[in-house]
Amino acid sequence: MDSIWIQGGKRLSGDIQISGAKNSALTLLPCALLTEEALTLGNLPRLADVDSFGHLLNELGVTTKVAGARRERVSRRMTLTADDIVSTVAPYDMVRKMRASILVLGPMLARMGESTVSLPGGCAIGDRPIDLHLKALEALGADIELAAGYVKASAPKGRLEGGDYSFPVVSVGATENALMAAVLASGRSQLFNAAREPEIIDLCNLLVAMGARIEGIGSGHLIIDGVEGLHGCDYDVMPDRIEAGSYACAAGITGGSLHLVGSRPEEMLATTNVLAQTGLAIEFTDKGVRVSAHQPLKPIAVSTAPFPGFATDMQAQLMAMLCVAEGQSFLEETIFENRYMHVPELRRMGAEIDVHGRSAIVHGPRPLTGAQVMATDLRASMSLIIAGLAAEGETEVLRVYHLDRGYERLEDKLSAVGATIERRGGG
């Protein structure tokens, strides 16, 4: 099994090209199910999760063609065509590999009038139930049946009628599923307290490009007037704001300066505002965002929150950086109840972190030392990479398949800006 080896203590400096957003790509891919025509997605990151989702769509009858050499490890263009749906069932052996597979439920139901998807099962970072997905679809006119570990959704008249649903709490995934279901309904649908993440806006923009009628894009009140059918189009996936924020933390912890080329400042304001509070210099350029460390890092207090708040997907990376800040920092995780599994591994590297329920106190500055550590989930993996970049000696991060789910060409990008890092094959 592969691992990532790092010789720490190198200051990072230079340009890093930000890839297409993983969280957006996994939402845009199932849109291919909404039309018989070809959908081409550009700036699609080459990631394990994207490949897994492509395989699931293949099982359902979607053909996928990738432009360029398949061996290249760079973002690429994929054309998806769902002119012949051969199955409306997403089986457990496919869904268990990736929770995002639940996002085929809404578009398949909208297009075919029925959809059966395995329940995703557990999650390493906490319980992420799909009850809001199902309640939203029921509000749009779906009949929902749970049996033998599967969700079976059907439209009684062969087509959803549309309806109104107010989310009791903000849910990105449920908003995405409801949006994709509503665009082909026979009537108007309204989603209240909808998620407002940039990835939701990216989804709405793609659906509109395919012929959907959506009002209120970017707000918590979405109005969708269903149409008879959608057409194909050519669309580029948005840049990954979480990848950009992760490399910004790498710049901070190494006392470096990185230009995050291709990132969109307006989508990263929550992250850049927090990083600025730590003393990092933030510059918005015509190519992206430049992050530089010119002074010792300051301690801060921050809570995760739905967009436009500080993203839960940035919490672990920020925590790693704060291990070297001059004082005590306070972090509160409000989204997932079990997202501090990276803490024991950071402690192995010399970090002093106290966890009390959903709160964590990071005592800095502490000198970090290299160690063999084990990744537990995607963002936890990146926090260990960030810590390893600043640690004295060698760090080896195991279970890097987590990293491969969300960071394209990580070791190549970091090597190019001064890190001593490489991938090593396991025995």
Q: Binding site for UDP-N-acetyl-alpha-D-glucosamine, residues? A: 99, 128-132, 313, 335
Annotated binding site for phosphoenolpyruvate, which residues? 22-23
**130: number of CA atoms within 13 Å, CB side?**
28
In the beta sheet, which residues pair with residue 29?
none
Q: At 347, which amino acid appears?
A: R
CA gap 384, 400 in Å, rounded:
11
Q: Nearest to residue 204, comparing CAs of 23, 31, 18, 35?
A: 31
Residue 363 parent element (H or E): strand 359-363
Q: Do 34 and 112 touch, CB atoms closer than 8 A?
A: no
Active site residue 123: yes
Binding site membership: which residues?
22-23, 99, 128-132, 313, 335
Candidates 58, 34, 37; CA nearest to 203 is 34
Q: Rounded to the nearest 5°, which phi and psi values hold at 142?
A: -85, 145
Give the DSSP H or E segment for 260: strand 257-261
Q: Which residue's entry shows tokens 């990738």?
A: 66
Q: Where are the beta strands (DSSP E) in 108-237?
A: 114-118, 143-147, 150-154, 164-166, 188-192, 213-215, 221-225, 233-236
N-term to C-term CA, the chain: 7
Q: How far is CA 363 from CA 253, 316, 343, 350, 356, in A?
A: 15, 15, 12, 11, 14
Structure token pair of residue 69: 């050499």
The answer to whether 404 and 48 have CB atoms below 8 angstroms apart is yes
Give the C-alpha separation, 251 to 259, whole Å. Answer: 9
Contact between 297 and 322 (Cβ < 8 Å): yes
Dist CA 352 CA 346 (whole Å): 8
Distance CA 375, CA 383 (A): 9
Distance (Å, rounded) from C-alpha 282 to C-alpha 288? 11
**Of these residues, 31, 123, 233, 323, which one is catalytic?**
123
Rounded Cα distance, 344 and 131, in Å: 32
User: What's the CA gap between 19 and 355, in Å, rounded?
Assistant: 33
DSSP code for 376? -
> Catalytic residue positions?
123
